[in-house]
Amino acid sequence: MKPAVLIVDDEAGVRSSLAGVLGDEGYAVEAVDSGEACLNRAAGRVFDLIILDIWLPGADGLETLTALRERGVDAEVVMISGHGSIEAAVRAIKLGAFDFVEKPLSLDKTVLVVRNALRQRRLEVENRALRADADRRQVMVGESPVMAELREQVALAAPTNGRVLIHGENGTGKELVARSLHAMSRRAAGPFIDVNCAAIPEELIESELFGHVRGAFTGAVHDRRGKFEMADGGTIFLDEIADMSLKTQAKVLRVLQEQVVEPVGGREGIPVDVRVVAATNKSLPEEIQAGRFRDDLFYRLNVVPIVVPPLRDRREDVSRLSEHFLSVYAGEYGHGVKRMDPDGLAVLRQYDWPGNVRELRNVIERVVIMVPGPVVTVQDLSFLETAVPASAGRSGHTSAPVRLHDARDRFERDYIASALAIEHGNISRAADTLGLERSNLYRKMRAFGIRPSRPGGPRRSALSAGAGSPGPDPS
């Protein structure tokens, strides 16, 4: 992508000569004649560099620079100073401008300064991308009480060798939890081997998991190590475990019991030291009932159960997660970090997120690509509102007509839930917003089965009681 440069100067001659030279240098150049026009333009697309005259009619260069920064425009800025405005240029540097050039402009000098500024800009963007990339690997973003609880469980379970079974809907972050468990364990230096049981064809899964010896079956021309052996000294992550056939389950059970794997077609078992973390979005007890899952394997895998809650039950996290993904994708696509305006954020918080964090991530990636300016607004998110009518909530799944009474209840329930989410679960503040007595709101929450968002565990409630947050159920 060509670096984008915006020239701001009221002299037509300066605009055209600079635009010509910088265009020849291979930049995508635009030019405007005032500070106001600059702000307008910068709201419309992302520039890598803004070349800003200090003396301008209307808002001058310094005012414009300040306004740009206030609006979160993070382009590099090079000032153009005329005679007598060097002092102002120095002040501009203090305000974060990269450098200045003096009028009359030496085009060579200007080209050089522009190159340096753009190199600086590229380094900053790359740096952000690297940081974002490191972040993306393991960090579990979210400050909601449920997330805090989840983090605590992960921290407690990680250093043990205990098998962990992670349960949660699609896209809630099960794999992230599994990776964090590994990263925080004493096996962190060992391998983390990920096996998606749903993605491997039944006839290959045993060879995939346990390996095979040469000649074990047609096409087995070499010995092959299985995933269990590769995970020796580390962690194996058995994802979508419910999709494993009963036959394979029996073999996995043997590995867990004996800590030995037998490659397909081999005679000798290979001892392995592997910690098993499994995940599923299905209810294993139900799978057991239906005869599709072995209960003895379930009990062996389920030593430490961890549940990852759906995003609609922790709407407080939507804002942090959005910021996180906005920064991740700004790094990836190499431009400034966009900002979500408050109304846009409200839409994101109200949406039901059937695809959970993965869906939110995809939505943010989509707006980072599609929205040219630095601010994401409600209009940019209109595709979400049409996906789920605002008042439909979970009733959106059924198209059958419902009684007015039920519809009203659903609306009231969703409305209260979103007011609570906006107030971070603070019942008193939500009651204020809704114009209800706190006790009345509490009654309604109970009637609708809306839990206070702080978990009701005695320790945590005691901790949060003084913090102005909802305490445990008074009854």
Ligand X SMILES: Nc1ncnc2c1ncn2[C@@H]1O[C@H](COP(=O)(O)OP(=O)(O)OP(=O)(O)O)[C@@H](O)[C@H]1O
List interacting residues with Mg ion (CB under 5 A): 175
Kindly identify the residues of this chain, within the stretch 305-364, that bind ligand X according to CB under 6 A. Answer: 321, 324, 357-358, 361
Rule CB under 6 A: choose which of 15, 128, 174, 312 binds ligand X.
174
Both tokens of 228, joined, read: 């269990």
**Cβ distance to Mg ion smaller for residue 173 or 234:** 173
Give the single-character DSSP code of 76: E
| Cα(7)–Cα(371) distance, integer angstroms | 22
Strands 224-225 and 211-212: antiparallel
Please give the sequence-ordered ranges of beta strands (E in DSSP) within 292-418, or none if there are none.
Answer: 304-308, 339-340, 375-376
* Residue number of the CB atom closest to Mg ion: 175
The distance of closest approach from Cβ of residue 62 to Mg ion in the complex, given in angstroms and rounded to an integer, is 51
Piece in contact with ligand X (CB under 6 A), picked from 49-57, 61-69, 135-143, 397-405: 135-143
Q: Is 138 in the site for ligand X (CB under 6 A)?
A: no
Piece in contact with ligand X (CB under 6 A), picked from 7-15, 163-171, 434-442, 444-452: 163-171
Q: Is 373 in the site for ligand X (CB under 6 A)?
A: no
**Cβ distance to Mg ion smaller for residue 282 or 339:** 282
**Cβ distance to ligand X smaller for residue 4 or 337:** 337
DSSP output for 97-161: --EEEESSPPHHHHHHHHHHHHHHHHHHHHHHHHHHHHHHHH-----SHHHHHHHHHHHHHTTS-
The distance of closest approach from Cβ of residue 208 to Mg ion in the complex, given in angstroms and rounded to an integer, is 17
Residue 73 near residue 374, CB atoms below 8 Å: yes
The distance of closest approach from Cβ of residue 314 to ligand X in the complex, given in angstroms and rounded to an integer, is 9
CA-atom Rg of the chain in angstroms: 29
> In sequence order, which residues have a C-beta less than 8 Å from that of residue 452 and are 6 or more positions away?
425, 427, 445, 470, 472, 473
The distance of closest approach from Cβ of residue 166 to ligand X in the complex, given in angstroms and rounded to an integer, is 8
**Cβ distance to ligand X smaller for residue 78 or 279:** 279
DSSP output for 159-226: TS---EEEEE-TTSSHHHHHHHHHHTSTTTTS-EEEEETTTS-HHHHHHHHHEE-TTSSTT--S-EE-
7 binds, among ligand X, Mg ion, none (CB under 5 to 8 A by kind): none
The distance of closest approach from Cβ of residue 279 to ligand X in the complex, given in angstroms and rounded to an integer, is 6
**Cβ distance to ligand X smaller for residue 174 or 227:** 174
The distance of closest approach from Cβ of residue 331 to ligand X in the complex, given in angstroms and rounded to an integer, is 14
Q: How many residues bind ligand X (CB under 6 A)?
A: 17
| Cα(132)–Cα(331) distance, integer angstroms | 7
281 binds, among ligand X, Mg ion, none (CB under 5 to 8 A by kind): ligand X
| Cα(380)–Cα(415) distance, integer angstroms | 23
Q: Is 142 in the site for ligand X (CB under 6 A)?
A: yes
The distance of closest approach from Cβ of residue 380 to ligand X in the complex, given in angstroms and rounded to an integer, is 21
Rule CB under 6 A: choose which of 125, 176, 368, 427 binds ligand X.
176
Strands 164-168 and 304-308: parallel
Q: Is 168 in the site for ligand X (CB under 6 A)?
A: yes
The distance of closest approach from Cβ of residue 133 to ligand X in the complex, given in angstroms and rounded to an integer, is 12
| Cα(14)–Cα(20) distance, integer angstroms | 10
| Cα(50)–Cα(74) distance, integer angstroms | 10
Helices (H), 334-400: 342-350, 356-370, 382-387
Q: Is 182 in the site for ligand X (CB under 6 A)?
A: no
**Cβ distance to Mg ion smaller for residue 175 or 208:** 175
Which residues are at the interface with ligand X (CB under 6 A)? 140-142, 168, 170-176, 281, 321, 324, 357-358, 361
